[in-house]
Amino acid sequence: MNDLLFPFVLYSQDDPDYTNMPSISPYRNDMPSKAFWEIEIKGTKRKGINKDMQAQLYTDQDPYYNSMPGESPFRTEMPNKNYWINYQRMADMTKEQGKRKEIVHEFRIGVQILMNLGGRENPEFMAQQNIYEMPKDLADGSGLAYVLDDELEKLKPEVKRRDRFVPHKQEVEIIDCKPCENEIVESNIVLGEARSDLGHSNYCEQSHIDRLFKKKELFQPLSEYVFEQARRKSNQYEKIGKAIFMNRAAVKMANIDALFNLTNTPEFGIPSFTDVSQNELFYFADICAGPGGFTDYLYWRLGDRARGFGMTLKGDHDWAPNSRFLTNVSTFVKSYGEDGTGNIFKVDNLAFFKDQISNATKGKMLSLVTADGGIAVDGQENDQEMLLKRLVMCQFFCALAILRKGGNFVCKVFDVFTDFSASLLYIVAQCFEKFCIVKPYTSRPANSERYVVFLKLNRDPSDVINVLAKANETFQEFERTRGNTFDIMSLFPIEKIPSYFGQYLKKSNEELVRSQTDGVDEFLCYAYDLNMEPLDQDGIAFRCLKEWRVPRNKLEDTEMKMAKSKQEALYRQQQHQQQPQQQYQQQHQQHSQQQQQQQQYMDSMQKPAVQEPIYVGKEEIDKELDKEEEPDEDKMFTPLGSIIMEHMKRMTPYKGDIIRPLFTHHSKIPQESSTYFSFT
Active-site residue list: 252, 372, 412
Contacts for 180 with CB less than 8 Å, ≥ 6 apart: 426, 427, 430
Question: For 541, what's the count of Cα atoms within 13 Å in the CB-facing half-sphere?
Answer: 19
Are the C-beta atoms of 613 and 638 separated by less than 8 Å? no
Are the C-beta atoms of 24 and 91 separated by less than 8 Å? no
Contacts for 228 with CB less than 8 Å, ≥ 6 apart: none
Phi, psi of 614 (to 5 degrees): -110, 125
Are the C-beta atoms of 293 and 284 separated by less than 8 Å? no
Contacts for 622 with CB less than 8 Å, ≥ 6 apart: none
Task: Look at residues 211, 336, 253, 332 and name the one whose alpha carbon lies nearest to residue 548.
Answer: 253
C-alpha to C-alpha distance for 370 and 289, rounded to whole angstroms? 8
Contacts for 280 with CB less than 8 Å, ≥ 6 apart: 305
Task: Look at residues 22, 26, 9, 24 and name the one whose alpha carbon lies nearest to residue 87.
Answer: 26
Interior angle at CA 549, CA 546 and CA 552, nearest 5:
65
Task: Look at residues 383, 436, 442 and name the one whose alpha carbon lies nearest to residue 414.
Answer: 383
- DSSP label at residue 218: G
Preceding omega of 16 cis (within 30 degrees of 0): no
Q: CA torsion 70→74→77→83, rounded to 10°?
A: 180
C-alpha to C-alpha distance for 511 and 267, rounded to whole angstroms? 30
Task: Look at residues 87, 71, 207, 189 and name the one whose alpha carbon lies nearest to residue 138.
Answer: 87
Complete edge-to-edge strand list for the sheet that includes strand 306-311: 175-176, 432-438, 450-457, 403-413, 366-371, 282-287, 306-311, 333-335
Size (the chain), residues: 680
Are the C-beta atoms of 449 and 439 separated by less than 8 Å? yes
